[in-house]
A and B are shown apart, each in its own frame.
Chain A
Amino acid sequence: MRIVSRKTGMAAAMIGISALALTACGAAPEEAAPKAGNPDYTGCIVSDSGGFDDQSFNESSYRGLKNAEKDLGIKMQEAESKSNADFATNLQGMMNNDCDLTVTIGFLLGDATKKAAAENPDKHFAIVDFQYDEPIKNIKPMIYDTAQAAYLAGYAAAASSETGTVATFGGVKIPTVTIFMDGFADGVAKFNEDKGKDVKLLGWNKDKQDGTFTGDFEKQDKGKQVTSNFIASGADVIMPVAGPVGKGAGAAVKEANKGGKDAKLVWVDSDGYLTAPDYKDVMLTSVIKTMDKAVEDLVTADSKGEFDATPYVGTLENTGVALAPFHDFDSKVSDETKSEIEALKAQIISGDLKVESPSSPK
């Protein structure tokens, strides 16, 4: 018995080795030609503790710099933070590596970025999703009036709801999360006002600025549980504002739909139909923040020596925020609703309709 198993093991190993050897038979490449572009310029990025694979602002900002590296032929340095204690060390590391522009992500890096900028006045910085009270001459804040796009999503959700109840929840109660929920709440309210309906919103109370939060951006099971509760309470459109926790919400929606419900999802940050394809058949739409484009544009400008520290504010007008296409749901959303959303969008862009949130950029 033992001998047999040893023989089988040998045979398996031989097959494995030969498979490996076969894959190793490729031809050696020619010596690579030097890359054209701007190799003297270094763009750097420091994540917050979410890391570059957070399916949220770290990831999209990172993608922006990656694209810039590819398109402009610049050099790139990256540093992922594992905890708050890493921020200052990572920034110092970037300074030692002669970064021309350093992008930092999130309010937690605010103090560390400010300090690094003061110590390196000739270097440029950009911080995503944070704005200082007093502008700093070598830091460009990149912020998003997300409420504008979330407003449209709220309207679309209310119009698509068959049960007359929609829901949203956040990961952690911070302004960059609650701004989605504020816009969503206002969009639902607008639908009710215009149509004389009474679509209820679960999970967020704009007046009290309080609602449902899962506590972090990691525990997907918590997102699933919260979403299941919402569906059980009658909600059929759910917007999770919680990065990867949204996947838990997606799982809950799919499970509910197997049980005969007809629930849908509104994704945030990126077009979920493309970035979370597992749930594309329940994806009504997404509230997009196009950080990748904004970061790439900034790097492009800075590498040409055109840096300025005036805050970049992503709006519907400059497509810094947007409502994603309905994709599979395109035929199920009525033309009336679509034209109403277009009209609202035009009103927001023209300034006739103001979407306000306590978390809006100042």
Chain B
Amino acid sequence: MSETKAPVVPDPKKPGNDLFKSITQGPGLVSVLGVIVALVIGGLLIAVTDEKVGETAAYLFARPSDFFSALWSAGTESYVALFNGSIYNSSQGFAPLLETLTVSTPLICAGLGVALAFRAGMFNIGAQGQLIIGATMAAYVGFAWHLPVVVHLLLVIVFGLLGGALWGGLVGLLKARTGAHEVILTIMFNYVALYLLDFLMNTEAFRRPGETNPISPILDANAVFPALPGSRLHLGFLMAVLLTMGVAWLLNRSTIGFEFRAVGHNPHAAQTAGVNVARSTILAMAFAGALAGAAGVAQVAGTEKVLTAGVAGSLGFDAITVALLGRSTPWGTFFAGLLFGAFRAGAVNMQITTGTPIDIVLVVQSLIVLFIAAPPLVKAIFGLNRKKKRASATESTQAGAK
């Protein structure tokens, strides 16, 4: 390989690299504890901001029981409503659980995309853009073409994956060839995708006939995932399960996956060992993009059934938190996606029945990420640090004694 063509390889000795790994691939215990602490703080926030609690606090000394019962009921009622809306309630049985699975589907797919890139040593902020391009291409195939059953849906999925792969792969290509940082590239690509969609939604080709609002025609009946009768749960969830299995196989059993992980651990060593780092970078980003594209497919062919400028919501960014919480392992991401899906589905019920603002769920989600990003904080809260310190202290004395 000539000198000029050598791919740009990040320096593994940089202090950032260790931090990157400990944040993205640290132990799962921190995730679990982080969720618990975030939920407790969230509950306190709900209680403190509750109107009733505020009212009763004004006469705390005159009748303290009011205050404490209000405090307790505000905190617990919200979480009970969250549970009722996401898993089980007496009037609907387990119907909310199906809703949770539905909401989780795009989160899992996009989360896998971010996780895969993490494992290859890249911070993929671009799930949002990849999802948008995937959704746009999938939706266009879905409403503009009219094809027989099965074939149409398959093409929708294929084009969705291709769209995402294209958007992600371009980033990989630019990074491998020019050394541009993927974080900056993906952020910029998000904007390009967003405004491209904005533009397209105002063109004749994408706008619903006879409609002046920027909304696409409804996708053909053949182009959408069949849904379970009586719920919104659609076959896209099966796609998410298959993709999780696929990514697990790719990362743990395949040669490409091994190369991804090798590059993620230490690009220099990987290169020395004969891994084509440039190819791995491009492929990893393309795969990551395709997974985000699958989330776009789940949106347009699963729940939304139309394309609008807001089709991606904040899914691409939520996906980052999902991958972080899942410690970048495929099944970890899967369950993190389910958890966030449950939050999302339950938040609706919580908002309606207890009046707790939906934003509190975003606060809890953000707190989770905060705690995952700062593992020592969580460990300190649960007193896990001391043991480790002592262990490392003995280790170092032993090392010194040698």
Whether A82 lies near B358 (C-beta < 8 A) is yes
**Residues of A contacting B103 with CB < 8 Å?**
85, 89
Whether B215 lies near A84 (C-beta < 8 A) is no
Complex: chain B residue closest to A86, CB-CB: B348
User: Given A83-B310, A83-B314, A84-B313, is A77 in contact with B352 using a C-beta cutoff of 8 Å?
Assistant: yes
Whether B313 lies near A24 (C-beta < 8 A) is no
For window 75-116 of A, CB contacts with B under 8 Å fall at 77-80, 82-86, 88-90, 92-94, 96-97, 107-108, 110-111
Most buried by B among A23, A26, A94, A215: A26
**What's the Cα separation between A86 and B344 when bound, in Å?**
9
Whether B305 lies near A111 (C-beta < 8 A) is yes
Complex: chain B residue closest to A178, CB-CB: B212
Whether A108 lies near B352 (C-beta < 8 A) is no
For window 83-111 of B, CB contacts with A under 8 Å fall at 85, 91-92, 99, 103, 106
User: Given A111-B218, A111-B306, A175-B212, is A79 in contact with B352 using a C-beta cutoff of 8 Å?
Assistant: yes
Whether A26 lies near B62 (C-beta < 8 A) is yes
Whether A96 lies near B214 (C-beta < 8 A) is no
Whether B314 lies near A93 (C-beta < 8 A) is no
**What's the Cα separation between A77 and B352 when bound, in Å?**
6
Whether A97 lies near B352 (C-beta < 8 A) is yes
Asked if A28 CB lies within 8 Å of chain B CBs, one says: yes
Whether A28 lies near B213 (C-beta < 8 A) is no
B60-77 to A contact mask, C-beta < 8 Å, 1/0: 111100100000000000
Asked if B57 CB lies within 8 Å of chain A CBs, one says: yes
How far does the Cβ of A144 sit from chain B's closest Cβ, in whole Å? 15
Whether A93 lies near B308 (C-beta < 8 A) is no
Complex: chain A residue closest to B85, CB-CB: A93
**Residues of A contacting B57 with CB < 8 Å?**
23-24
Complex: chain B residue closest to A133, CB-CB: B210
For window 142-170 of B, CB contacts with A under 8 Å fall at none
**What's the Cα separation between A35 and B218 when bound, in Å?**
45
Asked if B198 CB lies within 8 Å of chain A CBs, one says: yes
User: Given A90-B348, A107-B213, is A84 in contact with B310 using a C-beta cutoff of 8 Å?
Assistant: yes
**What's the Cα separation between A180 and B113 when bound, in Å?**
43
**What's the Cα separation between A97 and B348 when bound, in Å?**
12
Whether A26 lies near B58 (C-beta < 8 A) is yes
**What's the Cα separation between A108 and B212 when bound, in Å?**
12
Question: What interface size band does chain B fall in?
Answer: 35 or more
Whether A173 lies near B202 (C-beta < 8 A) is yes
**Residues of B contacting A79 with CB < 8 Å?**
348, 351-352, 358
Asked if A16 CB lies within 8 Å of chain B CBs, one says: no
Asked if A29 CB lies within 8 Å of chain B CBs, one says: yes
**Residues of A contacting B379 with CB < 8 Å?**
none
Asked if A270 CB lies within 8 Å of chain B CBs, one says: no
**What's the Cα separation between A63 and B315 when bound, in Å?**
30
How far does the Cβ of B215 sit from chain A's closest Cβ, in whole Å? 7
How far does the Cβ of B185 sit from chain A's closest Cβ, in whole Å? 21
Asked if B349 CB lies within 8 Å of chain A CBs, one says: yes
User: Given A83-B314, A89-B103, is A24 in contact with B202 using a C-beta cutoff of 8 Å?
Assistant: no
Complex: chain B residue closest to A115, CB-CB: B305
Whether B348 lies near A78 (C-beta < 8 A) is no
**Residues of A contacting B395 with CB < 8 Å?**
none
Whether B63 lies near A28 (C-beta < 8 A) is yes
Q: CB < 8 Å: which of B92, B218, B315, B351 contacts A80?
A: B351
**What's the Cα separation between A123 and B303 when bound, in Å?**
23
**What's the Cα separation between A130 and B99 when bound, in Å?**
28
7 additional A-B residue pairs with CB within 8 Å, beyond A28-B59, A111-B218: A25-B59, A79-B348, A82-B314, A83-B310, A85-B303, A108-B215, A110-B215
22 contacts between A and B (CB under 8 A): A24-B60, A27-B59, A27-B62, A28-B59, A49-B313, A77-B352, A78-B351, A78-B355, A80-B357, A84-B304, A84-B310, A86-B348, A88-B303, A89-B345, A94-B352, A96-B349, A97-B353, A107-B215, A111-B306, A130-B213, A174-B212, A175-B213
Chain B residues packing against A (C-beta within 8 Å): 57-63, 66, 85, 91-92, 99, 103, 106, 195, 198, 202, 210, 212-215, 218, 232, 299, 303-306, 308-311, 313-315, 345, 348-349, 351-353, 355, 357-358, 362
